[in-house]
Copies of this chain bind each other. A is one copy, B any other.
Amino acid sequence: MPDAKLLETFPTPAETPFIVEHVCDEFTSVCPKTGHPDFGTITVRFQPRPAAVGGVCVELKALKLYFQSFRNEGIFYEAVTNRIRDDLAKLMNPAWMLIKTDWKGRGGFKSVIRAESGPVPDMWRQ
Contacts and interface: CB of A to CB of B under 8 A. Distances in A.
Contacts of A1: none
Q: Which of A33, A79, A113, A117 has the most CB of B within 10 A?
A: A113
The copy count of this chain in the complex is 10
B108 A64 contact: yes
Given A23-B110, A64-B109, A123-B120, A82 B18 contact: yes
A44 to B, nearest CB: 10
Q: Which of the four size classes fits the interface of chain A?
A: 35 or more
Contact of A72 (B24, B63, B72): B72
A117 B16 CA distance: 8
A65 to B, nearest CB: 9
A6 interface: no
